[in-house]
Structure 1
Amino acid sequence: MDVTIWHNPRCSKSRGAMTILDELGVEPQVVRYLDEAPSRAELEDVLRKLGTDDPRAMMRTGEPVYRELALADAGREQLLDALAAHPVLIERPIVITSTRAVVGRPPELVRELLDPES
Structure 2
Amino acid sequence: MSQLTILHNPRCSKSRNALQLLEDNKCDFKVIPYLEATPNKQELSHIIKLLGIKPSELLRTGEDIYKELNLKNEHDEDKILDAMVAHPKLIERPIVIKGDKAVIGRPLENVKELIK
**Same fold? TM cut 0.5:** yes
- Residue 102 of structure 1 aligns to a residue whose secondary structure is strand
CA RMSD of aligned residues (A): 1.0
**Structure 1 runs not aligned, ≥5 long:** none
Alignment partner, residue 86 of structure 1: 87
* Alpha-carbon distance between aligned partners in 2 of 1:33 and 1:56, rounded to the nearest angstrom: 18
* Alpha-carbon distance between aligned partners in 2 of 1:107 and 1:49, rounded to the nearest angstrom: 18
- Residue 15 of structure 2 aligns to a residue whose secondary structure is helix
TM-aligned CA deviation for residue 23 of structure 1 = 2.1
Alignment partner, residue 17 of structure 2: 16
Question: What TM-score comes out, normalization by structure 1 length?
Answer: 0.92
* Alpha-carbon distance between aligned partners in 1 of 2:29 and 2:14, rounded to the nearest angstrom: 16
Alignment partner, residue 73 of structure 1: 73
Q: Number of residue pairs matched? A: 114
* Alpha-carbon distance between aligned partners in 1 of 2:4 and 2:42, rounded to the nearest angstrom: 18
Asked whether 1:26 is paired with 2:27, we answer yes
Percent identical pairs in the alignment equals 46
- Residue 65 of structure 1 aligns to a residue whose secondary structure is helix
**Which amino acid counterpart does residue 15 of structure 2 have in structure 1?**
S
**Which amino acid counterpart does residue 2 of structure 1 have in structure 2?**
Q
Alignment partner, residue 63 of structure 1: 63
TM-aligned CA deviation for residue 84 of structure 1 = 0.4
Asked whether 1:47 is paired with 2:48, we answer yes
TM-aligned CA deviation for residue 39 of structure 1 = 0.6
- Residue 31 of structure 2 aligns to a residue whose secondary structure is strand
